[in-house]
Amino acid sequence: MREPNHTVGEKGGAAPARHVTCPSPRPASLCRVLTKCRDPQVIAHRGMSSLAPENTLAAFRLCAEHGVTRFELDVDLLADGTVIVLHDSTLDRTTNRTGAYHELSRADLGRIDAGSWFSPEFAGEPVPTLDQVVDLMNENGLDANVELKVRRVPAAQQRALVTAVARDLDRLDPDRDVLISSFSPLLLHEFRRVVPGARIGILFENKRMNGLWHSVGLMLDAAALHPSDSTVTRKSVRRFREAGYEVNVYTVNSRERAEQLAEWGVTGVFTDRAQDFPEDWRA
């Protein structure tokens, strides 16, 4: 997921499981009613990323402490098939190391500090693996949005990422909910093939997608659309909702803007500052 535009204090196939079952499409009239039923859900962008280093277990644990029930994380693959949680394609920005990581293995993670860049308080915080995050979700009753990162890698490596993510998520408790998102319809299509019952969210950031969302959504049997805050409009939200999709907007750090989006009928907002939102938005 790209960086936020707003600041306020401003960042062989697996069997389908119950926690990824896609709900039946809702009729448009019911969708219009549902937009008035509850406030949008706050989704902690890379965890509580204004309080702890992004995409770390520390940031995800803080979700439970602040009553935030859903967070977003980014995943990618190491050479040995380990799925790690990291946003960038290199280690430079958020660790004490530099360079790409795709040739590393799980054993190398112990030498990487993903916390000191944020604060000395988090020195030694490791780059987490997806299976560690799954354990944390099960222990704390948390749900997640898992973003499959789009990289310039061979198709076989992309398929390997999908298979490995599906493997790790299969360890989730049945009552946990996961939404799989990506900017790549091809990656999402592959995930749909591997996990037929997966809940899919389509990320997009430019206005050109506004003319394609319907066909892409149908192709992927998507549950949600995730438009950029910089491109979403009242009209587009209404069209998305009337078509039966959840609409989760990224990245929104302004309460005033979030309240406007709520009035438009969005179902969720990704934010770096989940702690600033009312408790009923966090549940």
Whether the CB-CB separation of 225 and 214 falls below 8 Å is answered with no
- Considering the candidates 19, 45, 189, 226, report the single residue annotated as catalytic: 45
Residue 139 burial (CB < 10 Å; 0-12/13-18/19+)?
Answer: exposed
Q: Under a CB-based contact definition with an 8 Å cutoff, are residues 51 and 45 in contact? A: no
- Name the active-site residue from 19, 87, 214, 226: 87
| 45 is annotated as an active-site residue | yes
Q: Please state, in angstroms and rounded to a whole number, the distance separating the CA atoms of residues 53 and 203.
A: 23
Q: What would the two tokens of residue 53 be?
A: 């280093």
Active site residues per annotation: 45, 87
